Amino acid sequence: MQKTVLKNYAKLLARMGLNVQDGQEVVIVAELDQPEFVTYCAEECYRAGASKVRVEWTHQPIARLGAEFKSEEVLGEVQGWQEEKLRCQVRELPARLYLESEDPDGLNGIDGEKYARAMQARQKIIKPYRDKMENKYQWCIAAVPGKAWAKKVYPKTPATAAEEKLWKAILVSSRAYEGNPIANWQEHNRMLQARCAYLNGLGLTSLEYKSANGTNLRVGLMKEGLFAAGSEKTLSGVEFNPNIPSEECFTSPRRGEAEGIVYSTKPLSYQGQLIRNFSVRFENGKATEVHAAQGGAVLKKMISMDEGAAYLGECALVPFHSPINDTGILFYNTLFDENAACHLALGRGFTNCVRGYENRSEEEMHAMGINDSMIHVDFMIGNDDLAITGVTDTGARFPIFENGNWAFRV
């Protein structure tokens, strides 16, 4: 891939993704797949004003060895130095850039029960620190190609060529391949936010999903809830883009108000393991029954991670004819596949989807209906015949999606 294109992508992530502030610390979390690009990102963060840039390297094969050989107790512990690191993050609030490139099948075959219990133990310690940072710092999740991931997406293509093809697919999907990526995102954000303005003006209290594949689901919305999209702002007013790419207009539904069944339309890669062709049935807002052609045990364990893991935290609207879906590529990566189709998320909701969240306590927003959990896992439900109807408290009905795409213009 041309160096100038990659440097423009790095600039997009530093300036629009993180919007690094003068004197701010930046942490980049990345696998070992693209060290040269990580260097470009570090340089662009410094040029944007970062006081220091620290890279936290990860390596999935090492993580797999840990999952296999460490005891459950050791795998689930948070050591003192790690907890001190979390306390430092709460104090310093560094901007955090996550560059995904992992193998979607990289943890297949591990003891899923052991791994899940260990992650539960870790999250009990980590979550309070994460909650203290909520809405206070900039973060961005983006992607670079890994060799194993590229071969998963392009199994019949030689490794080097597959990596190059995945680079192009990532950049095209991220609006960073042609033109000025920053200008592209400014216009994209404008369109996304215009759609949210329309949705927020309807006064919806529920969404009804129907599809020929059997999906028949009603999800309740909060009176104080808002649809959001594209860029967000920290409580101190710094604008950033948490996901690049992003095609969704999303909201957090009201906990306890989901009835019916929904069917997945794309595989879900969860903690290095694939879940395929699955369904989730909701009663009184809770996932009470799940089935999967592959990965059913992983799915069942996922929704039992804690009390909130079986409740919805997000409803996201993405047209079937999105730029990502129109590539015809199945990425086996949630960042991309969730932006190819409408999706739901199990687990934690977004407090910034509550009107006036800046002046409300976290406890108050949970009481309003924002779900809380240690997980937030998106799964795709959109297809070419999905119909979504918005309903108000007076019974007025508004078509939101028809045949998988937006039913209104802005």
Phi, psi of 307 (to 5 degrees): -60, -35
Instruction: Find the helix or strand (DSSP H, E) in which 129 lies.
Output: helix 112-133
Provide the 3-class DSSP secondary structure of residue 172.
helix
Provide the 3-class DSSP secondary structure of residue 41.
helix
Same domain, 197 and 313: yes
Residue 184 lies in a domain: no
Q: Does the pLDDT at position 271 exceed 80?
A: no
Return the pLDDT at 176.
96
Q: At which of 142, 173, 204 does a domain end? A: 173
Return the pLDDT at 110.
86
Return the pLDDT at 177.
95
Same domain, 318 and 395: yes
Same domain, 238 and 376: yes
> Which structural domain range is residue 241 located in?
189-406
CA distance 293 to 351: 34
Summarised one tens digit per residue, pLDDT across range 129-157 is: 988 998 899 999 999 999 999 999 999 99
Q: Does the pLDDT at position 363 exceed 90?
A: no
Q: Does the pLDDT at position 109 exceed 90?
A: no
Q: Does the pLDDT at position 274 exceed 90?
A: no
The secondary structure of 288-306 as a DSSP string is EEEEEEE-HHHHHHHTTSS
Q: At which of 173, 201, 224 does a domain end? A: 173
Question: 310: which DSSP letter?
Answer: G
Joined tokens for residue 245: 């790419």
Same domain, 236 and 306: yes
What's the burial of 2, exposed, middle or buried (CB within 10 Å: 0-12/13-18/19+)? exposed
Confidence of residue 220 (pLDDT cuts 50, 70, 90): very high
Residue 21 lies in a domain: yes
Return the pLDDT at 338.
83
Question: 242: which DSSP letter?
Answer: S
Lowest mean pLDDT among 266-275, 284-293, 397-406: 266-275
Same domain, 277 and 228: yes
Summarised one tens digit per residue, pLDDT across range 45-101 is: 999 999 999 999 999 999 999 999 999 999 999 999 999 999 999 999 999 999 999
Residue 346 lies in a domain: yes
Please provide the average confidence, as pLDDT, over all residues in the chain: 93
What's the burial of 80, exposed, middle or buried (CB within 10 Å: 0-12/13-18/19+)? exposed
Other beta carbons less than 10 A from residue 142's beta carbon: 24
Residue 180 lies in a domain: no
Return the pLDDT at 309.
95
Q: What are the start-end ranges of the H helices in 143-273?
A: 147-153, 159-173, 181-200
Q: Does the pLDDT at position 272 exceed 80?
A: no
Confidence of residue 389 (pLDDT cuts 50, 70, 90): very high
Residue count (the chain): 410
Same domain, 199 and 284: yes
Same domain, 161 and 202: no
Summarised one tens digit per residue, pLDDT across range 282-339 is: 999 999 999 999 999 989 989 998 999 999 999 999 999 888 888 888 898 888 988 8
Provide the 3-class DSSP secondary structure of residue 151.
helix
CATH number at residue 53: 3.40.1830.10
